[in-house]
Structure 1
């Protein structure tokens, strides 16, 4: 039974890691597959939009006959209840987990698994989470509508403050005032650590650190847009409204302060950009020491450059300042497409900790494209199985650029203006194409 459960968990973990779902991520420490961490990125057009919500899974030896236990760990130290069904204590109320009374057929079955649990939790993160509260249908309609609006407003604020801003500031070792702070021990958070049996508390298990940094760069403009919209609805200093279902030690208390959040978000972006530039300096030192990563990247660079020369692709690859950690890719627009005739320069920064930290691409030539953020950061998907292969990253970026009939996916919303035009009506699409072509023409000037 034990071996069967481990086999089942391992397979589900592998399937999810191979998935191209941009809103879910899972990870285990070492080989302990029974203790797992998962990340859910909040859905588009909800108050949880592009927030980073982490959960701890514990699988028993009777899995999949019995469901795992699931604990929400993005709770601001047990002080914030993000949903009627996600408590400040970390309890997740779902009928398939046996933590909530469900209708017949909604209970756990062995046919369900890790992905179905994550999707069920994600479904709680709706545009109107107030509806998740039992008895919602019987509530006073006028008061209820007011509560729904105010509940959404405070969730949006705390999603930004706790799941995005606080998380990124901790990852970057900066305080709320923007000052650099010394890294803290994980000792105070040991209860939230899903693997605290023989864990070295001075080195916390943070498998989503790099992922969240890269996604922050994707969604930076969306965070700012959310703040701009919220500022028309609430004022700084306004207190959160307590909901009827919120009780002592299981609530979401606080005050709105979007001015402060915007300042902190802009500072995180600045520090992330500085971190990327710092990789180049660290890379030169690693090159001098002939580190394994430096040698590996130099070899990959030479192989990829040679493959471009042998193929029909006109793209060119160079090292910046002879640094194997900074590549310059010259991309030529694909013939017979809207990119035809364009000439674009991309800078690729690699970390001395590659592939643990994934490369960061930046278009130095401006291109108006729904998959490229206004600062030049491209949104692309690289399979986890090939993340140590630099060529797969380059190919994935080019594929994202050239894809002619992409499926609608709001998780790729990195340029709000271009995205809205691309997925708008026929006139919007025409405007998008005109602006794309204009940026292509300007790339040659």
Structure 2
């Protein structure tokens, strides 16, 4: 049913043109790449090639970036094992704000797949989010094959059979898998059989930054793409090759040539490659993946003693700086995608329409009240624990980082309960171990933020932590060369100026007397380190959500707090006199502090519920607006209730910071309005 020639070029060239000009330049040039949807699809393609999920392949069709072909290989040890199932994905200019239309081309028998190949999948309907990319879509569909939902049937016969006669149902997918096996022509020779194994292996377990497939109807001629390795002069380049095999393969190596123009000591002018494993060091054990991986390594580790390009070899040996500059220039010619995604753009600009009229207003008001009450009261408790003297002995609670451990434990239990009560999904989310790296930064960052309360006042801490845009734009401008608009620079100037001036102004003696160890530079430094760690945590969570699209907010909450609990327990109880023992002893002697800690943790868990609800119903823009205004109110509450008087100049700084944040929200809203008007006109 599905021949290799049908899917061969789906994985390599967007444009099959073989003109001489096209041979000289490797830049992929899809038409009309000015729209956000097309730029995002090119990023999806690059991401799919650099880090593809196992058993999935996809690429744009011909010159149309909006229409994709894809292949899903049936998961091992399932009734679908061995099948090769073809799909199409039709995108619109609303992507990623709206999902694509996805259909199976292969004939399928599944409870959630209609007769015309359409798929009944929540993330393609009401659960869609702009964070999902093509890899996430295909991964979700692959998971759906083995984990159908008979309660939402698209094929009533399949749903009934799945529920009533599982054994008979499993026979049908096995039949579909047998029909959908690759059946290339003239596959009787050992070379052709071996090449088909190589192709299957390359699709199921591809090395990073490598893609390849047979060309047209010829299994003996392959097209391939190598992406320049990160953090090298070749970074960002997209280099095309051809591999010509003979019937002697794998006993003899293929003839490999670069189609892209190259400047390298071991690559000839005609694109041929001087590489030992393609000559005297060849072994039948090498497959296509090994060949392409070796060539990718050769780019960064040339051998000038065996030159194919004498000029490149001389420059590499005598003037490495000029050589790298020449290679970077070549890589920039071969770029098809702007490598650095703008750090200032947020994925959740879309406000979803769940309900309308009075009900929608009521739900929004409920979310605002929930977020404000939970986090404002949590701020009051946090300030109390950091400044209050407990008991007759007037001791301070010095172990503020213990609050993070307590918060981790409560949120871990809370998220586990919510998953058990509300989640109907059994599998498909991110494995628990994937959160280990994000758990480290999520443990260190908040600990620094809360420890800052020993050195600066609560209003100062809130103000400093509101300036997240400053390190983001600094990194974007200085490291990645991103150009921001004047209004965006104005927002950052207002926030940076407000925070800096607030820090330089004299703090009232009453506020200083409440601090355990007054030290403004250290306190602000801890806050900015907290922001830096939070940035890494958020990026890692986004990556996990994209890789495992069935991962819910509760899954993330569970995984993050599991690792946070593990790390904090090791840090606080890993030795006989750890801070955790002292914190527990303090709570035993001062039950009032223990109650404050418990309420602090419950406020955090409840607040997370309202944030999840707000994002799912109204989008991240509404959530950003609510949380930003909440911070301003927290400063007012701290000044009025907790006795942290601010001077008129300090209030001016507060207004300055929140004016910048409000203007940033307005810019996002205006961008959203333009996007919505554009949808209506297209």
Bin the TM-score by the shorter chain.
0.3 to 0.5
TM-score, normalised relative to structure 2: 0.27
Bigger Rg, structure 1 or 2? 2
TM-score by length of 1: 0.39
Structure having the larger proportion of residues in helix:
2
